[in-house]
């Protein structure tokens, strides 16, 4: 089970918000009695501005999520963190996600990298079809180790898919994406998946210092 949280921060508070997160989030990640792990944490560079994106994994599924939430409610430092953080935010939202089995599980990686989170709102009823196409498509996008993780929503905004990619820089991203079009079969898979999409968004993100994905 994976949770993605998107926080829209008051512009004048982003630096203080990042500092606060970098002080508190590693303690939760490293606490052995909390069955959760920080997968990555970023600021959006291109896309919605003054935004933070956090990705957490709960190894034991919903029971692990409930256990962590229960323990955090009793954690005085976290309670103070939430209160202070709340004063810095304009809005926040989250989703509970599952991972596509054909994607690699995100693992810590060295940087520096930029990350792209591509989010797709699918037409209701097309998730299985999307998964079947991307189980074949993913092999076209692994040559440069750019594929980080693929997720689909279970709770929150439904019929939503997130693909997470890592690149050295924007030019490398452009080169890798263009190279895919020269591989036989990629264009056909794009042709069949595009009609499944209602809406899509691309975020280019920069990892915070504490992010396991650098």
The residue extents of the domains of the chain are 2-97, 106-207
State residue 135's pLDDT score: 96
This prediction's pTM: 0.95
- pLDDT in tens for each of the 214 residues of the chain? 999 999 999 999 999 999 999 999 999 999 999 999 999 999 999 999 999 999 999 999 999 999 999 999 999 999 999 999 999 999 999 999 999 999 989 999 999 999 999 999 999 999 999 999 999 999 999 889 999 999 999 999 999 999 999 999 999 999 999 999 999 999 999 999 999 999 999 999 999 999 999 9
- What are the φ and ψ backbone dihedral angles of 185, each rounded to 5 degrees? 110, -25
Q: Do domains 2-97 and 106-207 have the same CATH topology?
A: yes
Kindly give the pairing relationship between strand 114-122 and strand 89-99. unpaired
- Fold category of 106-207 in CATH: Alpha-Beta Plaits (3.30.70)
State residue 40's pLDDT score: 98
State residue 104's pLDDT score: 86
State residue 34's pLDDT score: 94
**Helix (H, G, I), strand (E, B), or coil: what is residue 58?**
strand
Q: How many Cβ atoms sit within 10 Å of the Cβ of residue 59?
A: 9
What is the second-level CATH architecture of the domain 2-97?
Answer: 2-Layer Sandwich (3.30)
Task: Give CA separation, 133 vs 98, 143, 148, 152, 183, in Å.
Answer: 17, 18, 18, 14, 16
110, 115, 121, 126: CA torsion to nearest 10: -40
Distance separating alpha carbons of residues 58 and 38, to the nearest angstrom: 9
**Helix (H, G, I), strand (E, B), or coil: what is residue 53?**
strand
Q: Report whether 20 contacts 14 (CB < 8 A).
A: no
Q: How many CA atoms lie within 13 A of 16 on its CB side?
A: 12
Task: Give CA separation, 150 vs 19, 25, 31, in Å.
Answer: 28, 23, 26
Separation of CA 108 from chain center: 13
Question: Would you say the C-alpha torsion 154, 213, 170, 133 has a positive or negative sign?
Answer: negative
């Amino acid at each position: 089970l994976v949770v993605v949280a998107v926080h829209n921060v008051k512009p004048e508070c982003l630096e203080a918000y990042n500092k606060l997160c970098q002080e508190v989030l590693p303690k939760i990640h490293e606490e052995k009695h909390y069955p959760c792990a920080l997968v990555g944490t970023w600021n959006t560079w291109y896309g919605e501005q003054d935004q933070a994106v956090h990705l957490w994994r709960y190894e034991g599924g919903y029971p692990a999520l409930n256990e962590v939430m229960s323990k955090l409610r009793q954690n005085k430092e976290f309670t103070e963190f939430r209160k202070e953080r709340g004063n810095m935010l304009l809005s926040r939202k989250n989703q509970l996600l599952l991972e596509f089995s054909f994607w690699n599980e995100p693992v810590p990686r060295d940087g520096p990298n930029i990350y792209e989170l591509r989010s797709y709102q699918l037409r209701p009823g097309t998730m299985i079809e999307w998964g079947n196409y991307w189980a074949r498509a993913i092999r076209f996008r692994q040559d440069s180790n750019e594929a980080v993780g693929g997720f689909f929503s279970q709770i929150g905004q439904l019929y939503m898919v997130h693909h997470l990619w890592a690149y050295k820089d924007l030019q490398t991203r452009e080169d890798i994406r263009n190279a895919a079009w020269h591989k036989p079969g990629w264009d056909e898979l794009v042709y069949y998946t595009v009609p499944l999409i209602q809406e899509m968004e691309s975020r280019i993100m920069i990892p915070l210092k504490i992010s396991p994905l650098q």
